[in-house]
Amino acid sequence: MTEELFREDASLHQCSACVLAIDDRGVRLDRTVFYPQGGGQAGDAGVLRLGDGRELQVADTRKGELPGEILHLLADPADAVALQPGDVVTAVIDRVRRGAHMRFHTATHLLCALVPHPVDGCSITAAYARLDFHMNEPLDKQQLSDGIARLVAAARPVHHRWVGETELDANPQWVRSMRVLPPRGQGRIRVLEIDGVDLQPCGGTHVANTADIGKVIVTKVEKKSAMTRRVILGFAEAAEG
């Protein structure tokens, strides 16, 4: 098991960690700030800094086959020879990439508040985010962009807490996603709340206040199928440039 520091504090960008194992699947650490791809959010990239100052590039982070397993994928698998179990390294994420994930991810929660329909799919990358809603009514691109801007300007605090499965079962309306159901059997489920705006189970990384989302706009609304409307988010600065 790896201690998941990113679950309690998404603003951490580095930590000291001990190498547990290295194999052709990746590097496992006893604790990490690297978010593994999941819940629609892309995995983190970054470096593992060795005691002598050398840096091994991490291209991506994935969940392993076992529960709680987090694999740091080396950009150059040949770098694995530089590591031994028991080595102490500093795990440092790419802050620009993660910052984009956090801004987009939090913006998808705002979209959930603006579009009261079940979510049928989600993908969050550093370049864009997309959210598929199970609905057949048309959506207005400008109206959604304006709605996001309003909630960003409202500067609402974003925080998480842990609830028991009983509390979740008592509040079925919390679950917005049709495909990604909250993990069961661990006794507690992480709930993400944007004060007065949105509340739903979510294990991803988010900014601490909606103001930190900045200028995120809807770049496209597509009819993917009779019952799916896809909304694509982008950074306004990228759209203008």
* Shortest distance, position 213 Cβ to Zn ion, whole Å: 12
Considering the complex, what minimum distance in angstroms separates the CB of residue 41 from Zn ion?
Answer: 8
Question: Residue 78 CB, nearest distance to Zn ion (Å)?
Answer: 36
Choice between 158 and 218, CB closer to Zn ion: 158
Q: Nearest-5° angle of CA 70, CA 8, CA 123?
A: 60
Point out the residue whose Cβ comes nearest to Zn ion: 202
> Residue 128 and residue 67: Cα distance in Å, rounded?
29
**What is the contact surface with Zn ion in residues (CB under 5 A)?**
192, 202, 204
Distance between CA atoms of residues 213 and 99, nearest Å? 9
Of 17 and 202, nearer to Zn ion (C-beta) is: 202
Q: How far is the CB of 89 from Zn ion (least distance, A)?
A: 28
At residue 110's C-alpha, the angle toward residues 109 and 111, to 5°, is 90
Nearer Cβ to Zn ion (26/203): 203
Least separation in angstroms between CB 28 and Zn ion? 25
Q: Which two tokens stand for residue 17?
A: 């960690």
CA distance to 50, 102, 119, 130, 199, per residue, from 175 (Å)? 42, 20, 9, 18, 9
User: Which two three-digit tokens encode residue 121?
Assistant: 């799919």
Closest CA to 28 of 3, 6, 46: 3
Residue number with CB closer to Zn ion (22 or 216) = 216
H-state helical runs in the chain: 5-8, 95-114, 141-153, 165-169, 236-240
User: Which residue's CB is nearer to Zn ion, number 72 or number 105?
Assistant: 105
- Identify which of residues 49 and 63 has a Cβ nearer to Zn ion in the complex: 63
Least spacing, CB of residue 206 vs Zn ion, in Å:
6
